[in-house]
Amino acid sequence: MLHIAICDDDQLLCSLLEELLMKISGYIAEKIEIEVFYSGEELIRFLKEGVYYDIIYLDIELQQLNGVEVGLKIRDELHNEITQIIYISCNDSYAMKLFKVRPLHFIIKPITYQKIEEVMKTALKILQKNRETFDFQIGQTSYRLPIKEILYFESTGKKILLYSLRLNYEFYGKLSEVSKQLKRMDFLNIHKSYLINYNFIAEIEYHQVRMTNQRILPISQQNRKKIREQLSLIRGEIE
């Protein structure tokens, strides 16, 4: 089941968006559960209590705590990089302000069935990838970790360090073998020692990336052209 939140102080728009989403749910393979919030404060209060949403449709022009501030709280205070945030606004002048929030999409009002359908298709592709798991073994114990929780892998000699949202793990293996397992996922071999999850890149430059945990990792010179090509491919799939 997909858990979706709508946060907008316009009750008529919330009703229309809820109606469109329920219509879309009629032909996708999953049921949709929708909760509506009329203020950013109310949404944040629920999120702090541990409520999780796969997708949040978030109005920018909210009263008091606006949509940009809500998005930053979700990313920086709640450390939630998984929920897909889709902004809704009357104008398109917020592009730079939204950079740090890393939203999935930006919809200009008025909303239409076509606009919502298009962005939902993109969201479903990403969410499907996030449901995949990575299996590994430490000693006699086997582990299965959701891909959506893995930030990156680091190779140190004969061992692999796995950095996740909750815990870090260390196991014997080769980074090349890990890369093969995750070939269909959005992982990038930026260096012989690093395999990173595209979804946790906070900032990328020609020679390095800054991950959402603020660690800066190098992009080796021999990998730079390939990384640019992979990034174009991933971004193309998302768009």
**pLDDT one-digit tens code per residue, 60-119:** 999 889 999 999 999 988 888 889 999 998 877 666 667 778 898 999 989 999 999 999
**Does 151 score more than 90 pLDDT?**
yes
Using CA atoms, how far residue 102 sits from 4, 96, 201, 202, in Å, is 18, 11, 9, 8
d(Cα 111, Cα 106) in Å, to the nearest integer? 11
**Residue of 8, 169, 7, 3 lying closest to 82 (CA atoms):** 3
Report residue 232's pLDDT band, with 50, 70 and 90 as the boundaries: confident
- The boundaries of every CATH 2.40.50.1020 domain in the chain are 133-238
d(Cα 137, Cα 145) in Å, to the nearest integer? 11
CATH T-level assignment (fold) for domain 2-130: Rossmann fold (3.40.50)
**Residue of 65, 70, 105, 76 lying closest to 88 (CA atoms):** 105
Query: Residue 192 is encoded by which pair of tokens?
Result: 């012989």
105-108 and 84-89 beta bridge pairing: parallel
CATH T-level assignment (fold) for domain 133-238: OB fold (Dihydrolipoamide Acetyltransferase, E2P) (2.40.50)
Report residue 130's pLDDT band, with 50, 70 and 90 as the boundaries: confident
- The boundaries of every CATH 3.40.50.2300 domain in the chain are 2-130
Q: Partners of 15 in the beta sheet?
A: none
For 99, residues 6+ apart whose C-beta sits below 8 A from its C-beta are: none
Percent of the chain's residues with pLDDT above 90: 52
Burial of 211 (0-12, 13-18, 19+ CB in 10 A): buried
d(Cα 47, Cα 101) in Å, to the nearest integer? 16
d(Cα 207, Cα 215) in Å, to the nearest integer? 14
pTM flag (> 0.95) = no
SS3 164: strand
* Residue found by looking up tokens 């946060």 in the block: 7
